[in-house]
Amino acid sequence: MAFNTYIDHTLLKANATVDDIKKLCAEAKEHHFYAVCVNSYYVALAESELMHTDVNIAAVIGFPLGATITKVKVYEAQQCIDEGANEIDMVLNIGLLKSGYYKIVEEEIKAIKKAIGKHVLKVIFENCYLTDEEKKIACQLSLNAGADFIKTSTGFGTGGATIEDIQLMKNEVKNAIQIKASGGIRDAETAKQYIDLGVSRIGTSSGITIVTSK
């Protein structure tokens, strides 16, 4: 299996340096990963490092808590696209979802999708904080808002992707929207399990381990 075409090669740690981002991009080029995933500040740097390659750039916004003001999320998303991002991974407002403010959550997703147009929008749920019912609601809100992907986790919560969550999300959306599994995926066996369940993308900082293991 060609794992590299599924992988968003990810570095989102607070202590990531400029040299670390350059190394991430070099690794993505070497292994032909689908994309790198970086914090918004580093989009311009990644764009300069990945110029004239087929590696995409995914930028996280409202990261990692999702509680940023909607206008700020929209502006951040627009800036990332302007600086070279192909995809936006937004954290939905977890607290508002859990409060039952579903219309506000949906409208925020819709506003960000409108702002980035044809570019890919992934909505991060942070499933470790949600009940199964809330996960299903988040799936429907994302569908209604026109998102392109739903995504399990930031990797900064109390838990990452699980088989059970991917099955729940897939059962809820069928093939109407793509799914990205992220958080705690560190080996090829686990990556294959998720891909076999129907995910289109794997978010991981262990991409090299995954593609080079036998």
Coil/strand/helix, residue 72: helix
Q: Which stretch of DSSP H or E encloses residue 178?
A: strand 178-182
Q: Are 142 and 109 in contact (CB under 8 A)?
A: yes
Q: What percent of the chain has pLDDT over 90?
A: 99
Kindly name the residue from 73, 113, 135, 180 that is annotated as catalytic.
180
pLDDT of res. 1: 77
Determine the pLDDT at residue 213. 86
Q: According to the model, what pLDDT value does residue 44 have? A: 98
Q: Are 132 and 169 in contact (CB under 8 A)?
A: no
* Helical axes 70-82 vs 102-116, angle rounded to 10°: 20
Nearest to 203 by CA among 155, 149, 150, 169: 155
Q: Quick one: CA dihedral 51, 53, 55, 56, positive or negative?
A: positive
| Distance of alpha carbon 24 from the chain centroid | 16
Q: Span 29-43, mean pLDDT?
A: 98
Percentage of the chain beyond pLDDT 70 is: 100
Give the closest residue to 153 by CA, choosing from 144, 145, 162. Answer: 162
CA 6 – CA 11 distance, rounded (Å): 16
pTM of the entire predicted model: 0.97
Residue of 141, 139, 143 lying closest to 152 (CA atoms): 139
The residues pairing with 35 across neighbouring beta strands, listed in sequence order, are 8, 56
Quick: pLDDT tens for 121-150: 999 999 999 999 999 999 999 999 999 999
Identify the DSSP state of 42. G
pLDDT for residue 23: 98
The question of whether 135 is a catalytic residue gets the answer no
Domain spans of the chain? 3-212
Residue 212 has a pLDDT of: 94
pLDDT at 158: 97
Specify the pairing of strand 7-11 against strand 149-151.
unpaired
Per-chain mean pLDDT for the chain: 97
Is pLDDT at 214 greater than 70 in this prediction? no
Choosing from 8, 73, 151, 165, the catalytic residue is 151
Our answer to whether residue 180 is catalytic in this structure is yes
Cross-strand bridge partners of residue 11: 38
**Once rounded to an integer, what is the mean pLDDT over residues 54-83?**
98
Question: What is 3-212's CATH number?
Answer: 3.20.20.70
Q: Measured between alpha carbons, how far apart are the two ends of the chain, in Å? A: 11
Catalytic residue among 8, 73, 89, 113: 89
When pLDDT is cut at 50, 70 and 90, the band that residue 69 belongs to is: very high
Query: Is residue 29 among the annotated active site residues?
Result: no
pLDDT band at 47 (very low <50, low <70, confident <90, very high): very high
The predicted model gives 171-186 an average pLDDT of 97
Q: Give the separation between CA 126 and CA 155, rounded to whole angstroms.
A: 8
